[in-house]
Amino acid sequence: MHFLDQAKIFIRSGAGGPGAVSFRREKFIEYGGPDGGYGGKGGDVIFEAVPGLNTLIDFRYTQHFKAPRGKGGAGSNMTGAGGKDLLIKVPLGTQILADDEERTVLADFTEIGQRIHFLKGGDGGRGNASYKTSTNRAPRQHGTGWPGEEMWVWLRLKLLADVGLVGLPNAGKSTFINAVTNARAKVGAYAFTTLRPQLGVVSHHGREFVVADIPGLIEGAAEGAGIGDRFLGHIERCQVLLHLVDANDKDVATSYRIVRDELEAYGEGLVDKPVIVALNKIDTLDEELTAALTAELQEESGKPVLALSAAGGTGVEAVLDALLERLTVQRVEDEGPAEPIEWSPV
């Protein structure tokens, strides 16, 4: 399945059905009078976050979504049937944005089963019975029904993960996620092997957490260099970042700084997230050089640096222990009284 994290769609709720023009005609009932009923209400447009989806690819081929209109009213004061609501299913982590320059966030789906009545269907038109007055005993006018609402919106998917992998291209992120999760990311001896985000689930010491791998960053990514920074949105919601640095880089301190500068340029609080720094591919170095590069990277980052080889399995357990510890601390810090989520009624 192809991965797509942005899509533009048109949505329209159903218009209300027209009211009826009808007069009561029954044997032995004189002057029956008007009895045209109201038209039915148009269908609403509803979005729902569902499990089992991790891409917006379906919205590439279907871009127009229109709820049915209400049925017309009938005699005997019968109201027309309402139009069926249109339910649009989206992956968890989807945001709905306005189609304007600011791309204002209109809705954010962060829980499975979360539903939002996004557009309200039009009310049905009045039947002629509702126009009857003391001076107008046989009205023939009726309402045609209120129109529905319509708009273009952007859907943007931000994957929900606990840990986000960052680093320069070919830093070994794909190898790491393959080694510790059930993911099967492409691995190659060239830059930008990863062209789309990958998700994997880690099982460690009886606990599980989700890791997200995004395409590597290069200098100038915030200005669009390489693949750019468009995939950084997928780690905005991560609690912890794991920053991998290739031990074979000419200057590991510079490699670390390039990525940190791009995170800062992107904004959205990424540079302020808790981060664990790890020197990868140490199986290609001797112990003395590994110690020297670890010290150099620690001086640049100001944080403890873990050494590992994702390909060989060396140091991987220590990195997972550090991630699990950091996630536990972060969850305790983020805990607060649970408040019920209230959605605006239609």
pLDDT in tens, 20-55: 999 988 887 777 889 999 999 999 999 999 988 878
Q: Cα dist. 338→93, 114, 143, 334, 341 in Å?
A: 20, 16, 46, 11, 9
Is pLDDT of 228 > 80?
no
Q: Which amino acid is at 340?
A: P
| Same domain assignment for residues 130 and 197 | no
Q: Is 253 annotated as a binding residue?
A: no
Handedness of CA 208, 6, 272, 306 (dihedral sign): positive
| CATH code (residue 77) | 2.70.210.12
* Mean pLDDT along residues 71-98: 94
Six-digit token string for 337: 């009284």
| Same domain assignment for residues 67 and 200 | no
| Same domain assignment for residues 134 and 269 | no
| Same domain assignment for residues 219 and 113 | no
Q: Is 77 annotated as a binding residue?
A: no
Q: Is 195 annotated as a binding residue?
A: yes
Residues 6+ apart with CB under 8 A from 296: 252, 253
More confident residue, 77 or 341: 77
| Same domain assignment for residues 307 and 223 | yes
Q: Is 54 annotated as a binding residue?
A: no
Q: Which amino acid is at 215?
A: P
Q: Is 282 annotated as a binding residue?
A: yes
| CATH code (residue 267) | 3.40.50.300
| Same domain assignment for residues 253 and 311 | yes
pLDDT value of position 155:
95
Q: Is 215 annotated as a binding residue?
A: yes
- Over pLDDT 90: what percentage of the chain? 49
User: At which of 157, 183, 204 does a domain end?
Assistant: 157
With cut-offs at 50, 70 and 90, classify the pLDDT of residue 72: very high
Tens-place pLDDT, residues 101-148 = 888 999 999 899 999 999 999 999 999 999 999 899 889 999 999 999
Q: Does residue 143 form part of some domain?
A: yes
Q: Is 232 annotated as a binding residue?
A: no
| Same domain assignment for residues 114 and 227 | no
- How many domains in the chain? 2
Q: Is 84 annotated as a binding residue?
A: no
Determine which of 90-99, 159-168, 278-287, 327-336 has the lowest per-residue pLDDT on average.
Answer: 327-336
Q: Does residue 220 form part of some domain?
A: yes
Q: To 10 degrees, the CA torsion angle through 169, 170, 176, 182?
A: 80
| Same domain assignment for residues 219 and 261 | yes
pLDDT value of position 229:
64
| Same domain assignment for residues 172 and 147 | no
Let me know how long the chain is.
346
Q: Is 18 annotated as a binding residue?
A: no
Is pLDDT of 278 > 90?
yes
User: At which of 157, 185, 211 does a domain end?
Assistant: 157
Q: Is 173 annotated as a binding residue?
A: yes
| Same domain assignment for residues 59 and 146 | yes
Domain of 49 in residue numbering reads as 1-157
Q: Is 11 annotated as a binding residue?
A: no
pLDDT value of position 220:
62
Question: The sheet that has 64-66: what strands, in order across it?
Answer: 64-66, 6-12, 150-157, 94-98, 105-108
- For residue 146, which of 16, 38, 37, 19 has the smallest C-alpha distance? 16
Q: Is 191 annotated as a binding residue?
A: no
Specify whether the CB–CB gap between 72 and 80 falls below 8 A: yes
Is pLDDT of 224 > 60?
no
Q: Is 213 annotated as a binding residue?
A: yes
pLDDT value of position 335:
56
Q: Is 33 annotated as a binding residue?
A: no
Q: Is 8 annotated as a binding residue?
A: no
Handedness of CA 258, 175, 292, 305 (dihedral sign): positive
| Same domain assignment for residues 266 and 329 | yes
